[in-house]
Amino acid sequence: MKRQRHRQVNLIPLTITAVVSAQCAFSALAADPATANPATANSGEADEIATLKKEIQALEKKVDELEQRQQAQAVSAQSGQQEALKQVQILERERDNDQDAAAELAKTQPKLALGQNGFSIRSADTNFVVEFHGVLQADSRTFFQDNNNNGADGFLLRRARPILTGTVFHDFDFNFTPDFGGSTVQILDAYVNYHYNSALQLEVGKFKAPVGLEALMADRDILFNERSLATDLVPNRDLGAELHGDLFGGAISYGLGLFNGDTDYNGTTVNTPVEDDKAGEGRLFFQPFIGTDFNPLRGLGFGVAGSYLANRPPTNSATGLTPGYTTDGQQKFFTYNAGVNAAGDGWRVSPQAYYFYGPLGLLGEYVISDQRVSLAKKKAALANTAWEVTGSLVLTGDDASYNGVTPLHPFNPHLGDWGALQLVGRFEGLDIDGKAFTDGFASSSKSASAATAWSVGLNWYLNRNIRADVSFSRTLFDDFLGKAAPGVAPAQPENVLFTRVQLAF
C-alpha cells in the first residue's frame, strides 16, 4: 500500500510537466512565421491546437482526480487512526473498569497466607482472623554415672502442640493449645483476650501467670531443653483473669491478675481449691531504650514480679504441698513429707532482667517464695529461694533476642548457607529453707536441701522453623543422707546429655 501511494503521488508533477510542455509547444506553433500565411496550414494548426487543448484538459482532469484521491486517502488514513485511537481508549477504559471491579471484589474476599509463621485466614476487613501454629520437640536424655540415680535414658516427645489462635470482631483474641507430648493429653492454654488497645487488655481463661521471666519465654525459644531451677518456684499456667498492656511503645509493660493459685510449675494440682482461695499475681517490666536509636541499650529490660495469697486455710490434699522440685534432667530432688499442707499467707518476689546486643544475650532472675505450712499442729513460714544466670553468643553473628534467633542466612548448602549457631551457658541454684528439715516438714533421707547446676550447649538454627540442640548439664546436691530409691533425691550428682530436634511455626 505504501509503495502504490508513493507512485500515485509522483504522477502529479509528471502530469503538470506534460501540460506545461504542451502549452509551450502550442505557443511555439502559433508564433512560427513559416506557417502563418498558408491557408492549408491554418486548418491543420487549428486541429492540432484543439487536440492539444483536449489533452491538456484531460491531463488537468487527471491531476484534479489524483489530488482528490490523495486527499481522500489522507482523510481516510486520519479517520482510521482516530478510530484505532478510539478503540485503544475503549480497551483501556474496559481494563480500568475490570481492575476496579477486581479490587472491589478483593475487598470482600478472605485472604490466605502460608509462611514461616504458620497458616492464616483473614477476612477482607481483618476483623476475623484464624491462625494455625505448632510446636514439635523430639528429645533424648542420656545420664552418666547414674547407677544410684533414677534417671532413665531414652527418647521422648517433649512437646507436641497444635496451636489455634485468632481474632473475632477485631478486638477479641483467642488461643487454644492442647499438648499431646508426654504420657497424658492436656490443655495448656485456653483463653480470650480483649484487645482494646496495646496499653489496655483483659485476658480471661487458662494461660501463663505474669511472674517468671524464663517461664514467660515461649517454649520454642528457651535456650535449653528444660527451664532452670528458678522456674521451679514460680507459677506457670493457671486459671484466672489478668489486666495487662504495653505503654509508651513497650517501654513499660505491666500485668496484674487474679488466679486460682493452686498449681505449681508443672501444672499439677498441689492444693485442693477452696472458697476464696485466690492469688493475686503481677509484673512490672521496663525497656527504657526500646524506642531509641541507641542500639547498645535497646535490648535492655528489667523489672520485678510477684504474687500474694492471703489467709489460705489448711487443705486436705493427699499430695501434700507440692509434688516436688525437679532437676534439669527432671529427677525429683525435694518433696515435703506426707501431710504437709499450705496454711496461711504465701508470697513470691522475683527481680529479673535481660540484655541483648547483637549476637550477645544475658538473662537472669532471682525468686524468693515464702509460704506458711502446717503439719498436724505444727506451723512455720518457709522461704525457699532460687536463681539463674544464662548467657548466649551467636557464633555466626546473627542477632540474639528474648524471642529467639532468626538466621540471616537460612540453611541452604547449595548456596553455602548453614543457618545460625548459638553457644549457651547457664548457672542456677535452688535452696530449701533449713526449717523445712529441722521442724520435720521434710526429711534429709528423701530430699536434698539444695541443688546447684551448670550447663553448656550448642543450638543450631537451620531456619526460623527448624532447630537442633545439644547440651550437657551437671547438678550437685546438698545434705542428702538417704539412699537411691524411687521418689527420693538422686544419690549422686546428676550428669545428663540432652539433644533436641524442634519444628515450630
The residues facing 476 across adjacent strands are 452
d(CA 426, CA 424): 7
> What is the pLDDT at residue 457?
98
> What is the pLDDT at residue 17?
58
Averaged pLDDT, groups of 10, the chain, 505 residues long: 45 54 53 50 75 81 81 76 82 83 76 90 92 97 80 93 96 97 92 96 97 97 97 94 97 96 44 59 97 94 94 46 83 90 88 98 97 89 96 97 96 96 98 95 93 98 97 96 79 94 97
> What is the pLDDT at residue 473?
98
> What is the pLDDT at residue 269?
36
For 368, counting Cβ atoms within 10 Å of its Cβ (0-12 exposed, 13-18 middle, 19+ buried), the class is middle
> What is the pLDDT at residue 317?
40
Using alpha carbons, select from 437, 340, 432 the residue that is nearest to residue 379.
Answer: 340
Give the type of residue at 109: Q
> What is the pLDDT at residue 27?
54
Cell numbers of 50, please? 484543439
> What is the pLDDT at residue 437?
95
Q: Where are the beta strands (DSSP E) in 116-171?
A: 118-122, 129-144, 154-168
Sole residue written with cell 505504501: 2
> What is the pLDDT at residue 349?
97
d(CA 257, CA 307): 9
